[in-house]
């Protein structure tokens, strides 16, 4: 059911990345789940924006959002006390596995993986958090990640001594100890990561333009094991090796 919630806190993490914290009692979202968020009371932009949960603590839901277009820009204008119309949580529930875990985030893909990191930490599951962004100032929630991860690796493509993406950094890391991986980031990164063919299963948190977000419109297709699946209800988490990207 769509629900109108109040923005309790708004903060900027980077120049174009902000967080909206809303009060939403009585839910139990899992990493990867998302909400369809309305950007405007008018009919333009028309569709909701799928925003994944970045944390849920003490009935407070945090969305971490990057301004990429008109819809997210309108959301960035929300202030404390404003109403936000949301629908969710949507997407399949993810079951955490007690295995040595590697998280690989690229850009704003950090948002759902941050939530996953918080959950792994709460379950006392060891994990390494590898996080790449364009520039050092684009790396967000670094101190929280450093606090809860067994090992945190931050890399940037520009502005650091060794310019690297999360995927190129992987080539310098011994990955033999990991039993499971989770990743979220731009499609280009997922394609490169898939090509690395890591020796443990990696699960990708996928994103796309969504229509309804709840499985009705078949708009968010992803080719998986030769069939089209719906990102919104069959995912958004899929085994990376089985995705057929149309590049």
Q: Contact residues for other proteins (CB under 8 A)? A: 1-2, 38, 43-48, 71, 87, 208-212, 214-223, 227-228, 246
Phi, psi at 107, each rounded to 5°: 60, -135
Q: How many whole angstroms separate alpha carbon 243 and alpha carbon 230?
A: 12
Distance of closest approach, residue 237 Cβ to other proteins, in angstroms: 17
Using DSSP's 3-state secondary structure scheme, residue 50 falls into strand
Residues 6+ away with beta carbon under 8 Å from 102:
127, 128, 130, 175, 178, 180, 181, 182, 200
Query: Which one, 111 or 231, has the nearer CB to other proteins?
Result: 231
Q: How far is the CB of 30 from other proteins (least distance, A)?
A: 20
Instruction: Tell me how far, at minimum, the Cβ of 128 lies from other proteins, in Å.
Output: 31
- E-assigned strand segments in 96-197: 101-106, 127-133, 151-156, 180-184
Minimum CB separation of residue 228 from other proteins in Å reads 6
CA dist 75 → 61, 180, 209 (Å): 15, 34, 17
| CA–CA distance, 150 with 26 (Å, rounded to integer) | 31
In the complex, the smallest distance separating the C-beta of residue 55 from other proteins, rounded to whole angstroms, is: 26
Which residue, 1 or 197, is less far from other proteins as judged by CB? 1
Residue whose CB is less far from other proteins, 5 or 125: 5
Report the residue number, 11 or 70, with the smaller CB distance to other proteins: 70
Q: Which three-class secondary structure state does DSSP give residue 67?
A: coil
Q: Among residues 24 and 224, whose Cβ is nearest to other proteins? A: 224
């Amino acid at each position: 059911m769509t629900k109108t919630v109040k923005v309790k806190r708004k903060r900027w993490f980077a120049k174009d990345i902000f967080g909206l914290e809303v009060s939403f009692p009585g839910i139990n979202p899992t990493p990867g789940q998302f909400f369809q968020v309305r950007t405007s009371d008018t009919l333009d932009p028309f569709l909701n924006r799928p925003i994944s949960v970045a944390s849920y603590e003490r009935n407070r839901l945090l969305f971490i959002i990057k301004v990429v277009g008109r819809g997210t820009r309108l959301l960035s204008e929300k202030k404390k006390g404003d109403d936000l119309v949301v629908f969710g949580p949507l997407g399949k529930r993810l079951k955490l596995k007690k295995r040595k875990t590697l998280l690989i985030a690229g850009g704003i893909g950090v948002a759902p993986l941050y939530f996953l990191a918080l959950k792994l930490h709460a379950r006392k599951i060891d994990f390494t958090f590898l996080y790449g962004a364009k520039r050092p100032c684009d790396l967000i929630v670094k101190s929280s990640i450093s606090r809860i991860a067994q090992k945190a690796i931050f890399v940037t493509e520009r502005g650091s001594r060794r310019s690297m993406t999360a995927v190129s950094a992987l080539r310098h890391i011994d990955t033999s100890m990991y039993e499971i991986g989770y990743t979220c980031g731009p499609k280009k990164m997922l394609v490169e990561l898939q090509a690395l063919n890591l020796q443990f299963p990696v699960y990708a948190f996928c994103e796309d333009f969504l229509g309804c977000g709840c499985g009705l419109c078949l708009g968010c297709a992803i080719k998986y094991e030769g069939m089209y699946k719906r990102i919104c209800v069959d995912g958004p988490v899929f085994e990376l090796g089985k995705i057929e990207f149309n590049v």
